[in-house]
Amino acid sequence: MTIKEILSMNIKNIIDNSGKTQREIAYGLKTPIATISSWYTGDKLPRIDKLDKFANYFNINTSFLFGAVKTSDKLTDAENEIIRELQGISEEEKLKYLEIIRQIKEIKCR
């Protein structure tokens, strides 16, 4: 699959699973409905600034739109916040946080 196909598929899936109409999304993004429709069908792709707006509107990471973050379930607000907090820190720091999370889970399972 090409990046364009992945991006188009993810935009379509997000819109379909949002429970919102394209008109509501267009209004929320202050974008013409024809533009939202063209993203939905894959005829056109959003510009970077619009892609960022789209991701923020749905409270998702832009990495998810490109298939870099894979999940079968919609992320919760807390999960999205965790992902945002981890962006921009070193891999070593991420591994430390992961270890802390595992320790907390282990304590809770006792």
Give the domain CATH number at 58.
1.10.260.40
Query: How much is the mean pLDDT over the chain?
Result: 83
Contact between 25 and 45 under an 8 Å Cβ cutoff? The reply is no
Is 21's pLDDT higher than 90?
yes
Do 67 and 83 lie in one domain? The reply is: no
**Is residue 7 very low, low, confident or very high in pLDDT (cuts 50, 70, 90)?**
confident
Contact between 7 and 18 under an 8 Å Cβ cutoff? The reply is no
Do 3 and 46 lie in one domain? The reply is: yes
The percentage of residues in the chain with a pLDDT greater than 90, rounded to a whole number, is 27
Do 63 and 47 lie in one domain? The reply is: yes
Residue whose structure tokens are 């998702």 = 60
Question: Average pLDDT for residues 75-81, to the nearest whole number?
Answer: 71
pLDDT at position 72: 39
Give the total number of structural domains in the chain. Answer: 2
Is 48's pLDDT higher than 80?
yes
For the beta carbon of residue 100, count every other beta carbon within 10 angstroms.
10
Give the domain extent around 102.
76-110
Is 95's pLDDT higher than 80?
yes
Do 16 and 29 lie in one domain? The reply is: yes
End-to-end CA distance of the chain: 44
d(CA 90, CA 95): 9
Do 49 and 89 lie in one domain? The reply is: no
**Is residue 104 very low, low, confident or very high in pLDDT (cuts 50, 70, 90)?**
confident
Q: What are phi and psi of 101, to 5 degrees?
A: -60, -45
